[in-house]
């Protein structure tokens, strides 16, 4: 574990913060300067004036994403404001660059009202190839994303919702199969009914889990039919049931999904689940139930958490970099449900493949093999990009939202692999099945 002092020193030493801007073209001579700025810059300006799409040719737009927040729901810190959210947004920029070679401007907006936030983001469309909304509280985030998707012609993606849902759903697909269960028969209980939980529940439904099989629990307990003051997003999952507490809801469940807070679930509660249960305790940094205690108490369960020091880490970095890479590369106008599900299935399939030795070495283990303690790929497995981005791009092409389709899927995958090699990232066996 890192200390507070280490974290503060990391962010403050040397050049402060975590990101910078660097030039992609030389600027060392008078001619370089004339090309980079006046008079040479006028030529691409004229071309873009003729056709706005030329911005993708002559500027960074084709590889530039905005990571944008108002700081109202930052990690586990809550509403800490846009200034305090900036380190997180810079960190997100590092992940985009490291895992998918995508450039990022982090933008922290002093705009709590959804209408104000929407107006700011919409006005940025000329600058960016994609928008990653981050750490905006529910239910505002639902309204914001829906409105921006409707009104913008570039991909808009709220990672707290869909990134979490994509990774969790991939893990669910594999965990349920390992445990010998059927998606159409399982009972799923959520602790937490915010943006991530609702997105996960909806994606589970895309897989075939019926709404009646899902129970949401929030701070007030079970989200049930007739409960007062339910907005439409939680209200969609209001269930006809006599159960009112999380403990009652877990009794007889097959799957527990925690997107709430530390220590809200006891091992005694989990013992009332059906045999061969699946537990996703994803509160960070401390899960809803202690991993080691749950593992000791329940011998036949599969457990995933948000932590890197336990098996089966549900980490959004498995999603958003590759998803945006695939969307940007075919100039998608949006990230639709088919693209999200393509990402999910690519991750689930990749977990079943033989894991290269280089990946095992990166995690200081002798072997990683599909099973109860390896249901989703590791973040530093560079094959994630080679499987997921082409799957997303292919779905964009097939659903008609790609403005610049690839020449062939194989040639696109090879270009991704070439980029990885140029950045000296270990690839291992990169054969993709998309």
Domain match, 231 and 335 both:
no
pLDDT 10s digits, 358-412: 999 989 999 999 999 999 999 999 999 999 999 999 999 999 999 999 989 999 9
Q: Are 336 and 401 in contact (CB under 8 A)?
A: yes
Residue 19: pLDDT over 70: yes
**For residue 431, is it within any domain?**
no
Domain match, 114 and 193 both:
no
How many domains are contained in the chain?
3
Tokens of 299: 């011998």
- 192-213 CB burial, b ≥16 within 10 A, e <16: bbbbbbbbbbbbbeeeebeeeb
- Annotated catalytic sites, by residue? 37, 92
**For residue 310, is it within any domain?**
no
Q: Which regions of 103-192 does DSSP assign to beta strands (E)?
A: 103-108, 130-133, 156-158, 188-191
Domain match, 167 and 301 both:
yes
Domain match, 276 and 198 both:
yes
Domain match, 344 and 396 both:
yes
pTM: 0.94
Domain match, 214 and 226 both:
yes
The C-alpha atoms of residue 197 and residue 402 are separated, in whole angstroms, by: 29
**For residue 314, is it within any domain?**
no
The C-alpha atoms of residue 242 and residue 256 are separated, in whole angstroms, by: 19
Residue 311: pLDDT over 60: yes
Domain match, 277 and 395 both:
no
The C-alpha atoms of residue 255 and residue 275 are separated, in whole angstroms, by: 10
Give the DSSP letter of residue 316: G
Q: What dihedral do alpha carbons 325, 124, 82, 21 form, nearest 10°?
A: 60
The values of phi and psi at residue 68, to 5°, are -130, 135
pLDDT of residue 55: 97
**For residue 366, is it within any domain?**
no
Listed in sequence order, the residues at least 6 apart from 265 whose beta carbon sits closer than 8 Å to its beta carbon are 191, 246, 250, 256, 258, 281, 288, 289
Domain match, 184 and 151 both:
no
**For residue 177, is it within any domain?**
yes
- 328-367 CB burial, b ≥16 within 10 A, e <16: bbbbbbbbbebbbbbbbbbbbbbbebebbeebbeeeeeee
Domain match, 268 and 387 both:
no
Listed in sequence order, the residues at least 6 apart from 304 whose beta carbon sits closer than 8 Å to its beta carbon are 168, 171, 175, 279, 280, 281, 282, 311, 312, 313, 314, 375, 376
pLDDT of residue 299: 87
Sheet holding 103-108, edge to edge: 103-108, 64-69, 130-133, 156-158
Three-class SS state of 229: coil
Q: Are 409 and 390 in contact (CB under 8 A)?
A: yes
Bridge partners (DSSP) of residue 78 are 74
pLDDT 10s digits, 107-147: 999 999 999 999 999 999 999 999 999 999 999 999 999 99
Three-class SS state of 207: helix
Residue 427: pLDDT over 60: no
Last residue of a domain, one of 123, 145, 160: 160
Nearest to 326 by CA among 130, 56, 126, 89: 130
**For residue 412, is it within any domain?**
yes
Residue 432: pLDDT over 50: no
The C-alpha atoms of residue 331 and residue 398 are separated, in whole angstroms, by: 13
**For residue 369, is it within any domain?**
no
Between vectors from CA 198 to CA 153 and to CA 246, what angle results, nearest 5°? Answer: 170
Domain match, 244 and 268 both:
yes
pLDDT 10s digits, 88-108: 999 999 999 999 999 999 999
Mean pLDDT on 210-218: 97
Domain match, 44 and 153 both:
yes
pLDDT 10s digits, 28-71: 999 999 999 999 999 999 999 999 999 999 999 999 999 999 99
- The CATH number of whichever domain residue 56 belongs to comes to 3.40.50.10380
Last residue of a domain, one of 160, 182, 215: 160
**For residue 239, is it within any domain?**
yes
Tokens of 229: 């003051």
Q: What dihedral do alpha carbons 223, 213, 134, 76 form, nearest 10°?
A: 60
- The CATH number of whichever domain residue 298 belongs to comes to 3.40.50.720
The values of phi and psi at residue 120, to 5°, are -65, -50
Domain match, 154 and 171 both:
no
Last residue of a domain, one of 141, 160, 179: 160
- pLDDT range class, residue 430, cuts 50, 70, 90: very low
Q: Which domain holds residue 400?
A: 322-359+376-422
């Amino acid at each position: 574990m890192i200390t507070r002092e280490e974290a503060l020193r990391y962010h403050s030493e040397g050049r402060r913060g975590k990101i910078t801007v660097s030039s992609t073209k030389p600027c060392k001579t008078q001619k370089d300067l004339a090309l980079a700025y006046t008079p040479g810059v006028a030529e691409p300006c004229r071309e873009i004036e003729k056709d706005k799409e030329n911005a993708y040719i002559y500027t960074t737009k084709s590889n530039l994403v905005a990571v944008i927040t108002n700081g109202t729901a930052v990690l586990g810190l809550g509403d800490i404001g846009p200034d305090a959210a900036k380190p997180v947004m810079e960190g997100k920029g590092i992940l985009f660059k490291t895992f998918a070679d995508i450039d990022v401007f982090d933008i922290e907006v002093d705009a709590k009202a959804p209408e104000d936030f929407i107006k700011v983001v919409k006005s940025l469309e000329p600058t960016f190839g994609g928008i990653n909304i981050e750490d905006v509280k529910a239910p505002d985030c639902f309204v914001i994303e829906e409105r921006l998707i409707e009104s913008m012609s570039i991909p808009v993606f709220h990672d707290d919702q869909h990134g979490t849902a994509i990774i969790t759903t991939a893990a669910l697909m594999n965990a349920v199969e390992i445990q010998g269960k059927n998606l159409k028969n399982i009972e799923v209980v959520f602790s937490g009914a915010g943006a991530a939980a609702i997105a996960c529940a909806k994606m589970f439904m895309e897989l075939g889990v019926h709404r009646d099989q899902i129970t949401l629990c929030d701070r007030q307990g079970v989200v049930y039919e007739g409960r007062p003051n339910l907005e439409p997003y939680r209200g969609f999952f209001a269930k006809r049931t006599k159960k009112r507490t999380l403990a009652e809801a877990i009794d007889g469940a097959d799957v527990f999904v925690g997107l709430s807070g530390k220590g809200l679930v006891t091992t005694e509660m989990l013992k009332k689940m059906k045999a061969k249960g699946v537990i996703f305790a994803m509160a960070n940094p401390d899960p809803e139930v202690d991993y080691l205690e749950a593992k000791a108490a329940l011998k036949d369960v599969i457990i995933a958490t948000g932590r890197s020091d336990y098996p089966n880490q549900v980490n959004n970095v498995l999603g958003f970099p590759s998803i945006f890479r695939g969307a940007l590369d075919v100039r998608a106008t949006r990230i639709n449900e088919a693209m999200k599900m393509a990402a999910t299935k690519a991750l689930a399939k990749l977990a079943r493949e033989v894991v290269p030795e280089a990946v095992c070495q990166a995690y200081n283990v002798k072997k990683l093999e599909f099973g109860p303690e390896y249901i989703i790929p590791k973040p530093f497995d560079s094959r994630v990009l080679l499987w997921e981005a082409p799957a997303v791009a292919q779905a964009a092409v097939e659903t008609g939202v790609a403005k610049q389709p690839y020449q062939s899927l194989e040639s696109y995958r090879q270009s991704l692999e070439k980029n990885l090699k140029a950045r000296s990232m270990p690839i291992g066996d990169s054969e993709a099945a998309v």
